[in-house]
Homo-oligomer: A and B are copies of this chain.
Amino acid sequence: MARNTYLTMKTPTEARELWFSQVAAADLGEEQIPLQDALHRVLSRPVEALRSSPAFHGAAMDGVAVKAEATFTASPRRPLRLEVGRDAFWINTGHPLPAGTNAVIKVEELNTDADGRFVGIEKAAFPWQHVRKLGEDMVATEIILAPGIVIGAYELGALAAAGVLRPTVFRRPKVAVIPSGSEIVSLGEAKEEDLRAGRVLPEFNSLVFSALIREAGGEVDTQPIVPDDPDAIRAAILAAAEDGADLIMMNAGSSAGSHDYTAEVIRSLGELFVHGIAVMPGKPTALGLITAGGRRVPVIGTPGYPVSAIVAVEEFVLPLLALWQSRSLPRKDVMDVVPCNALPSRPGMEERIRVRLGMVGDTCYAVSLPRGAGTVTSLSRADAVIRVPRDSEGLDAGQPVQAELIRTREQIEGALLIIGSHDSTLDIIDSMLRRKHPRFRLTSAHVGSLGGLLALNRGQCHLAGSHLLDEGTGEYNRQAMRDHLKGTPSLLVHLADREQGFIVLPGNPKGITSFEKLLCDDVSFINRQRGSGTRVLLDWELKKRGISPAKIHGYRDEEYTHMNVAAAVLSGRADCALGVRSAAVALGLDFVPVGVEQYDLVISRTYAEDERMLALLDVIRSTEFRDTVTAMGGYDASRSGTLLWEYDGE
């Protein structure tokens, strides 16, 4: 089996500088295009006005054009009569002044004779009054726009006014995107039913790249998927180069694994400058240059995992496209944030951690998203990215740090941050909130009920989602609030009652109908994490029955959400989980109810009157919300939004 190793690891900046020193000088060339097609294209040279604007002295008002000097005697006491067609000429806004005139008198200031032969004025006109003078806006030959400017709406106006109907712009850089891998199928060929059934692995990096490249002004040529074979990869790269690509992106196969041929192929066709970058995710990136048909074409081998691939695209591809077009890439807006959890990091590698944000009072708190390089939802869910520097072992919880924003400040400020137990209805609240109030959203982080109350007590969120049973009273959440929210006055608002039960394979092959059945040797269980309401429920039920948790296979195997335990059952990883009915229904699994529990929102009194919170309460009290939740199955939302208790924090 082929084996290869990384070159000396470079930082992203070192890698970029090395690669750019070899490839940045490429000349894209220019083209002239119709103005109608010029939106978002990039000017390649200074634009000179081809005409003056206005191109003549024109009326700025509707009225009559006059020679100002001929009106100097006019006054209210000595009005002046001007003969239409000789001393005064009717004129509309925008029209050229007749020869010999140099001022316009507004129609409102005229007294018109009955027969229209004369107009009377009571005030002198001063020269050039209400006249847009030739060249007032721009004069022919003047430079009106500079190279590197992206043509937006305003620039279209300036170009048209300047008579430039075919501006000269950079040719779009042509990027060949070559997906590779023997296990993937292209989205165009994938059938929805195969995808649903998990029979095929869709290739979508090329779609994501394509969007980023188009937004950066490039043109994308996505090639068919190339198998993991060095000859096929070589042939695809050469074909793309011969087809005129300005840049070739080989996706996947850039690592140092046994089936990773990209780096070697680049080396064999030209030069390999960089292989391996000290950044996580994004490490397996290769940067080089090939020579084909007399042309030197830059090639990048990007990692196969989407989150790693994005880092490679954003660090190397987009800056190169910008440089070629004389554009400056917008710097990302940054914000000081406080991580709610510790963010460990491997020294020697810069880590990029995607986080969700919530402005709680004056502090912006950050909750990290799963860090797997394959977790594409960490891209779509992230509000910002925290960079942990190369020399750091990570960040402690509570240690302020700068984050690079992905969302706008307004979107972040419009978010309510809920930390706590996971429930699917939270996603419904978010969607309905956004529909009714586009400025608002609900950002949720799942750490279990107890974790949510602790976060609320530390002031790290606006509200918490909780279903903590008190074994003494059989009541939900009140005792937990008394125990964990000292000094944090808060409201307990009901969200929904939901069924908990055993999630099992269709037909319940192991016949799991009681907690005792979990003790069987041939039954494996998948648990929820400590501090989750479901875990409390399980432990209470086991305790009531005198069952020792240690005797249950898989008791120590934990997942963080209802959906994830259900997925574990579906995949055969476990035979049984305790969870809500909606999770079982969602995955087509069977459900054996063991009881009804109460899922509530615990709202900090500080934010109870906040406009975002009022909007949220409005949503959960709506019929639309109740109907939607009921339709999911296993929920009773008839009392959602009811204030159950006001806790004074003492």
A residues near B, CB below 8 A?
1, 35-36, 39, 45-46, 50-57, 60-62, 92-95, 102, 107, 127, 132-149, 152-158, 160-161, 163, 165, 181-184, 187-188, 190, 192, 195-198, 201-202, 204-205, 207-209, 211-212, 214-215, 228, 257-259, 304, 306, 310, 322-323, 326-328, 330-331, 370, 372, 374-377, 379-380, 382, 408-411, 414, 424, 427-428, 430-431, 434-435, 438-439, 441, 557, 561, 563-564, 566-568, 570-571, 573, 586-587
B207 touches A160 (CB 8 A): yes
| C-alpha spacing A141/B134, complex, angstroms | 65
A139 touches B571 (CB 8 A): no
Q: Which of B326, B375, B424 contacts A143 (CB 8 A)?
A: B424
Which residues of chain B come closer than 8 Å to A158, judged between CB atoms?
376-377, 379-380
B139 touches A567 (CB 8 A): yes
Which residues of chain B come closer than 8 Å to A410, judged between CB atoms?
328, 330-331
* A interface secondary structure, majority: loop
Which residues of chain B come closer than 8 Å to A441, judged between CB atoms?
146
Which residues of chain B come closer than 8 Å to A93, judged between CB atoms?
257, 304
B142 touches A326 (CB 8 A): no
A207-B156, A211-B152, A377-B158 as given contacts; A132 in contact with B586, CB under 8 Å: no
The 21 listed contacts between A and B (C-beta, < 8 Å) are A36-B188, A39-B211, A127-B557, A133-B564, A136-B564, A137-B375, A139-B564, A139-B566, A139-B586, A141-B587, A143-B424, A153-B209, A154-B380, A155-B380, A158-B377, A163-B192, A163-B195, A163-B196, A165-B192, A326-B438, A330-B408
Query: Looking across the interface, which residue of chain B has its beta carbon closest to that of A153?
Result: B211
A143-B431, A183-B92 as given contacts; A214 in contact with B375, CB under 8 Å: no
A328 touches B439 (CB 8 A): yes
| C-alpha spacing A94/B372, complex, angstroms | 13
Q: Which of B137, B195, B557 contacts A376 (CB 8 A)?
A: B137
A146 touches B431 (CB 8 A): yes
Query: Lowest 4 CB-CB distances: which A-B pairs, in order?
Result: A55-B198, A135-B567, A160-B204, A141-B586
Query: Looking across the interface, which residue of chain B has its beta carbon closest to that of A442?
Result: B146
B211 touches A156 (CB 8 A): yes
Q: Which of B46, B182, B207 contacts A36 (CB 8 A)?
A: B207
Query: Looking across the interface, which residue of chain B has its beta carbon closest to that of A152?
Result: B211
| C-alpha spacing A26/B439, complex, angstroms | 19
B187 touches A35 (CB 8 A): yes
- Give min CB distance, A566 to chain B, whole Å: 7
| C-alpha spacing A466/B176, complex, angstroms | 51
- Give min CB distance, A38 to chain B, whole Å: 9
| C-alpha spacing A341/B209, complex, angstroms | 47
Which residues of chain B come closer than 8 Å to A208, judged between CB atoms?
153-154, 156-157, 160
B431 touches A147 (CB 8 A): yes
Which residues of chain B come closer than 8 Å to A304, judged between CB atoms?
93-94
| C-alpha spacing A142/B423, complex, angstroms | 11
B142 touches A427 (CB 8 A): yes
| C-alpha spacing A152/B411, complex, angstroms | 16
Q: A57-B573, A134-B571 are in contact. List 17 more A-B contacts (CB 8 A).
A: A1-B107, A35-B187, A36-B187, A50-B192, A52-B198, A55-B201, A60-B372, A92-B183, A142-B424, A147-B434, A148-B434, A152-B211, A158-B376, A165-B195, A326-B435, A328-B410, A331-B409
- Give min CB distance, A425 to chain B, whole Å: 10
Query: Looking across the interface, which residue of chain B has its beta carbon closest to that of A182?
Result: B92
B140 touches A586 (CB 8 A): yes
- Give min CB distance, A635 to chain B, whole Å: 14
A257 touches B107 (CB 8 A): yes
B160 touches A570 (CB 8 A): no
Query: Looking across the interface, which residue of chain B has its beta carbon closest to that of A437?
Result: B328
- Give min CB distance, A543 to chain B, whole Å: 27
A431 touches B46 (CB 8 A): yes
Which residues of chain B come closer than 8 Å to A133, judged between CB atoms?
564, 567-568, 571, 573
A139-B563, A190-B165, A328-B439 as given contacts; A427 in contact with B55, CB under 8 Å: no
A46-B427, A427-B46 as given contacts; A215 in contact with B153, CB under 8 Å: yes
- Give min CB distance, A607 to chain B, whole Å: 20
B327 touches A207 (CB 8 A): no
| C-alpha spacing A257/B566, complex, angstroms | 70
Query: Looking across the interface, which residue of chain B has its beta carbon closest to that of A145?
Result: B380
- Give min CB distance, A206 to chain B, whole Å: 10
| C-alpha spacing A156/B147, complex, angstroms | 32
A51 touches B198 (CB 8 A): yes
A372 touches B137 (CB 8 A): yes
Q: Which of B46, B257, B428, B586 contacts A46 (CB 8 A)?
A: B428
A146 touches B430 (CB 8 A): yes
Which residues of chain B come closer than 8 Å to A141, judged between CB atoms?
563, 586-587
| C-alpha spacing A382/B92, complex, angstroms | 29
| C-alpha spacing A427/B428, complex, angstroms | 55
A136 touches B372 (CB 8 A): yes
Which residues of chain B come closer than 8 Å to A207, judged between CB atoms?
35-36, 156-157, 160
| C-alpha spacing A440/B327, complex, angstroms | 10
| C-alpha spacing A94/B163, complex, angstroms | 56
A330-B410, A331-B409, A431-B147 as given contacts; A306 in contact with B157, CB under 8 Å: yes
| C-alpha spacing A135/B503, complex, angstroms | 16
Q: Which of B163, B183, B563 contacts A135 (CB 8 A)?
A: B563
A328-B438, A374-B132, A410-B330 as given contacts; A567 in contact with B427, CB under 8 Å: no
Q: Which of B35, B135, B434 contacts A326 (CB 8 A)?
A: B434
Query: Looking across the interface, which residue of chain B has its beta carbon closest to that of A441?
Result: B146
Q: Which of B1, B187, B215 contacts A160 (CB 8 A)?
A: B187
| C-alpha spacing A54/B323, complex, angstroms | 37
